[in-house]
Amino acid sequence: MKRRQQPDAAGGRVLTLGEWGLRTAESLAPAQRFAGRTKTDYTRWRRQFEPQLRGMLGRFPDPVPLRARVLERRLFRTYIREKVIFDSEQFMSVPAWICLPKDRRRGQKFPAVLCCHGHGHGKDALVGIRHDGRRGTDYQKNLAIRLAENGFVAMAPDWRGFGERAEPPETHPAPRDLCNVANLMAELLGYNLLTLNLWDAMKSIDYLAGRREVDISRLGCAGVSFGGTMTLFLTAAEPRITAACVSGYLGTTAKALPFLTCGSQTLPDLLQWGDRAEVAGLVCDRPLLVQAGQYDASFPAADTLAAYRRVQDIYRAAGVEDRLSLDLFDGVHEINAGPILKWFAKRLFLELPAQKR
């Protein structure tokens, strides 16, 4: 990504926050950046970085009973869709879509995948519903439907500030990035917005664990863009996830400064200790698929490949490089659904129907 040149009216001095952020990030030497080669190196590094990540996430809300309800159930030709709602904390509830395989034997349990939506109109995009309520497909390729058609239980919640959880228009008349505004509110109350969304995702897994159709020991997680952010940090923090796909997100945080990130994706102090590659290192030794569109303008492929090589070093040191894969595909800022279906089928031990591959 080519850096915008600052006007030289100040004789080469830095005046803008954007340039300050870029230069500061490039000058940092993260204290726990992985530089090892052996499994012993990996074990020692993880023992240090894992509690550091927990500390950066900050506090989580207090748990409450889920009080889950199914609000609707519809049968489609190739899958079943339910709308559910549950409580994640005292003053917050989470609506979500559940997509189920249509054909199920009595007592049969399926692997499950938590689908993390990106920026847009929330969970609806993962089940083929446009912002105007009509059927359609966006850059997330109706992933929850496709998973259900191929024998998975797919869950797609709304994250805070999106879909049914978006603020009413009258509360934000000025044109502002609502992710940033939401994070400011969270910080004033002692939380980080990313952490709150991770909490909701963990409670989503609690909900899935209580579904009779779900084998929670075979749990995947996938998402693109902001959904990739959620997938990366959630899988690093949540050991119940068996395999994951991070699409359109893995890269270096410095390259995303100052205009390619937002309050929903920000973890305070991360660059003091490591970067996204280190967070991905905590997914190890579980299977991880990284996707990058060759023409992605938001998260350029070259930057993703640089971060991927660092993650590869971590998996190699841990002795499990075969559990890490890269899908560099001919596309833009979008999900590549086919390889995700095959990845989860392999890693969650499911035989895909031939016609659905």
CA–CA dist 56, 52 (Å, integer) = 6
E-strand stretches of the chain: 69-75, 79-89, 92-101, 110-116, 153-157, 214-224, 243-247, 288-293, 324-329
Does position 357 have pLDDT exceeding 50, yes or no? Answer: no
Question: For residue range 316-344, what is the model confidence (pLDDT) as tens digits?
Answer: 999 999 999 999 999 999 999 999 999 99
Structural domain spans, the chain: 57-350
Can you state the percent helix, strand and coil of the chain, rounding each to 5?
A: 40, 20, 40
Residue pair 213/109 in contact by the 8 Å Cβ criterion:
yes
Question: SS3 for 229?
Answer: helix
Which pLDDT belongs to residue 355?
Answer: 44
Does position 2 have pLDDT exceeding 60, yes or no? Answer: no
Which pLDDT belongs to residue 105?
Answer: 87
Prior bond of 173 cis (ω within 30°): no
CA angle 321, 286, 266 (to 5 degrees): 105
Question: For residue range 186-215, what is the model confidence (pLDDT) as tens digits?
Answer: 999 999 999 999 999 999 999 999 999 999
Burial letters for 73-112: b for 16+ Cβ neighbours within 10 Å, e otherwise? Answer: eeeeeebbbbbbbbbbbeeebbbbbbbbbeeeeeeebbbb
Residue pair 71/83 in contact by the 8 Å Cβ criterion:
yes
Which pLDDT belongs to residue 356?
Answer: 44
CA–CA dist 222, 235 (Å, integer) = 10
Local confidence band at 256 (pLDDT 50, 70, 90 cut-offs) = confident
CA–CA dist 118, 10 (Å, integer) = 39
DSSP 61: P
Which pLDDT belongs to residue 353?
Answer: 56
Residues counted in the chain: 357
Does position 6 have pLDDT exceeding 90, yes or no? Answer: no
The average pLDDT across 122-150 equals 95
Question: For residue range 12-60, what is the model confidence (pLDDT) as tens digits?
Answer: 899 988 888 888 998 999 999 999 999 999 999 999 999 999 999 999 9
The average pLDDT across 242-271 equals 89
201 CB neighbour count, 10 Å cutoff: 27
Which pLDDT belongs to residue 12?
Answer: 81
Prior bond of 285 cis (ω within 30°): yes
DSSP per-residue codes, 230-257: HHHHHHHH-TT--EEEEES--S-GGGGT
Does position 266 have pLDDT exceeding 80, yes or no? Answer: yes
The average pLDDT across 158-178 equals 84
Structure tokens at 17: 């926050």
DSSP per-residue codes, 281-308: HTTTTS-EEEEEETT-SSS-HHHHHHHH
Sign of the torsion formed by the C-alpha atoms of 113, 114, 119 and 121 = positive
Q: Identify which of 245, 253, 264 has the alpha carbon closest to the alpha carbon of residue 196.
A: 264
Residue pair 28/271 in contact by the 8 Å Cβ criterion:
yes
Architecture of domain 57-350: 3-Layer(aba) Sandwich (3.40)
67 CB neighbour count, 10 Å cutoff: 9
